[in-house]
């Protein structure tokens, strides 16, 4: 088995990805500007941890060279609202960071670079079910940095043969997410209820969003990495799990936690921010080219999420 580097390895998706790769017998190196995290504490003896900054070319180069990396899962990034408060930092981490990863992959013949992109690369000028090749005119800095990274990756593939592959994810839910992006109410409603705490949702009951369970997200990344090159017709693919209104989310949580204390206090600014996101992604090409199919529905994702929170209470304290 090979050696995988996960940038942003102490983060939410990095943690689940590391666990999946370890289960598959891979050697795993986590590269992160954070020295440690509540999430990866439990696996720190099974991985190598390298403390470094994606924006620092030499540090990225060093980890790829010194550890003889076969595959880079490039998950490290700044997310909203930080990207919108600090656009220069977003540029340095999300765009220069991707450039540094691609350069390191080119110089040291890394076998593949797997990129984590987002449905936030699409603006409002797209059809309700967003096709893989829809125009990408995002309304915020986060989306701009992710579109730019996708195009950089495609360029490095076309010009230098770097095996760049990416996935555009909808907002991902699961135990261990901590950010405050506009989609955060979805994971918080489940996490807080599982912890026995009340939670107030800041959108309308009818507000709808596309979602994916984190365990499906990392299965998708590993599957795309293993996909036969000859079958790929794109370098970046849309993935989609399920869509839910806020009320459907609450009803599902209450199926498992009947006394969950969730109420609504809609905030128009947050509603508009959520409505900027597409409600459904067309993942036909991922299904056709490399056999993508999500394992989790809203119901089974909520059930598993609650179990994970309760089995690892210290993470969500
Ligand atoms: N969480 C979602 O819903 C979602 C949806 C679509 C795409 N994505 C993408 O998936 C990736 C991972 O997201 P996440 O939810 O795990 O976020 P996260 O914030 O939990 O993890 C990101 C990690 O990147 C690290 N990081 C930040 N700046 C860095 C730097 N300069 N150098 C090295 N590491 C740095 C952070 O310390 C953190 O551990 C991101 O690229 C994000 O854009 C996430």
Mean pLDDT of 25-54: 96
Phi, psi of 111 (to 5 degrees): -70, -35
| Helix or strand (DSSP H, E) at 209 | strand 208-213
- Tell how far the Cα of 285 is from the centroid of ligand 1, in angstroms: 25
- Tell how far the Cα of 201 is from the centroid of ligand 1, in angstroms: 24
Q: Can you name the CATH fold of 3-171+214-238?
A: Rossmann fold (3.40.50)
Q: With 80 as the cut, is the pLDDT of residue 301 above it?
A: yes
Percent of the chain with pLDDT over 90: 95
Q: With 90 as the cut, is the pLDDT of residue 124 above it?
A: no
Q: 135: exposed, middle or buried (C-beta count within 10 Å: 0-12, 13-18, 19+)? A: exposed
Q: What is the rounded average pLDDT for all residues in the chain? A: 97
Question: From atom 39 of ligand 1, which residue's Cα is the shortest distance away?
Answer: 11
* 232, 159 contact by CB (below 8 A): no
pLDDT digits (tens, 9 = 90+) for 139-168: 999 999 999 999 999 999 999 999 999 999
So where are the chain's domains?
3-171+214-238, 173-211+241-279+295-316
Give the binding-site residues of ligand 1, using a 6 Å CB cut-off: 7-8, 10-14, 32-34, 53-55, 75-79, 93, 116, 118, 169, 171-172, 177, 179
Q: With 80 as the cut, is the pLDDT of residue 1 above it?
A: no
Q: With 80 as the cut, is the pLDDT of residue 29 above it?
A: yes
Mean pLDDT of 1-29: 96
Instruction: Output the CATH code of domain 173-211+241-279+295-316.
Output: 3.90.25.10
Q: With 90 as the cut, is the pLDDT of residue 275 above it?
A: no
**pLDDT-derived band at 122, boundaries 50, 70, 90:** very high
Percent of the chain with pLDDT over 70: 100
What atom of ligand 1 comes closest to residue 74's alpha carbon?
41
Choose which residue among 5, 6, 13, 185 to substitute to test ligand 1 binding: the one with the highest number of ligand atoms within 8 A of its C-beta: 13
User: Rounded distance, CA 50 to CA 244, Å?
Assistant: 38
User: Rounded distance, CA 227 to CA 30, Å?
Assistant: 23
- Tell how far the Cα of 76 is from the centroid of ligand 1, in angstroms: 4
Q: With 90 as the cut, is the pLDDT of residue 47 above it?
A: yes
Mean pLDDT of 263-284: 93
Mean pLDDT of 119-133: 93
DSSP-derived secondary structure letter, 41: G
Going by C-alpha positions, the residue among 60, 38, 42, 41 that lies closest to residue 51 is 60
- Tell how far the Cα of 138 is from the centroid of ligand 1, in angstroms: 18
Q: What is the structure's pLDDT at 276? A: 84
Q: With 90 as the cut, is the pLDDT of residue 110 above it?
A: yes
Q: With 80 as the cut, is the pLDDT of residue 260 above it?
A: yes
- Tell how far the Cα of 286 is from the centroid of ligand 1, in angstroms: 23
CA atoms within 13 A on the CB side of 23: 9
Mean pLDDT of 245-260: 98
* 29, 69 contact by CB (below 8 A): yes
pTM for the model: 0.97
């Amino acid at each position: 088995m090979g050696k995988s580097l996960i940038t942003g390895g102490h983060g939410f998706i990095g943690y689940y990805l590391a666990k999946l790769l370890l289960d598959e017998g891979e050697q795993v190196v986590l590269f992160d500007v954070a020295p440690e995290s509540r999430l990866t504490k439990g696996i720190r003896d099974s991985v190598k941890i390298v403390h470094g900054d994606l924006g620092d070319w030499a540090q990225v180069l060093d980890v790829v060279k010194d550890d003889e990396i076969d595959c880079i899962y490039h998950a490290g990034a700044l997310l909203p609202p930080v990207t919108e408060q600090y656009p220069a930092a977003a540029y340095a981490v999300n765009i220069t960071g991707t450039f540094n990863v691609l350069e390191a992959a080119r110089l040291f013949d890394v076998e593949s670079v797997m990129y984590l992109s987002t449905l936030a690369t699409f603006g409002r000028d797209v059809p309700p079910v967003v096709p893989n090749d829809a125009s990408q005119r995002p309304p915020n800095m986060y989306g701009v940095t992710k579109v730019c990274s996708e195009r950089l990756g495609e360029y490095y593939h076309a010009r230098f043969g770097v095996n760049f592959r990416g996935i555009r994810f909808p907002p991902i839910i699961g135990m261990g997410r901590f950010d405050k992006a506009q989609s955060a109410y979805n994971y918080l409603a489940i996490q807080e209820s599982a912890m026995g705490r009340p939670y107030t949702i800041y959108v309308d009951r009818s507000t709808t969003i596309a979602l994916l369970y984190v365990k499906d997200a990392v299965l998708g990344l590993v599957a795309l990495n293993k996909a036969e090159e000859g079958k790929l017709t794109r370098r970046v693919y849309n993935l989609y799990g399920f869509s839910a209104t806020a009320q459907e989310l609450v009803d599902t949580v209450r199926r498992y936690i009947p006394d969950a204390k969730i109420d609504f206090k809609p905030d128009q600014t947050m509603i508009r921010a959520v409505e900027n996101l597409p409600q459904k992604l067309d993942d036909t090409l991922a299904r056709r080219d490399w056999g993508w199919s999500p394992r989790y529905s809203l119901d089974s994702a909520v059930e598993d999420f609650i179990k994970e929170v309760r089995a690892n209470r210290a993470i969500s304290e």
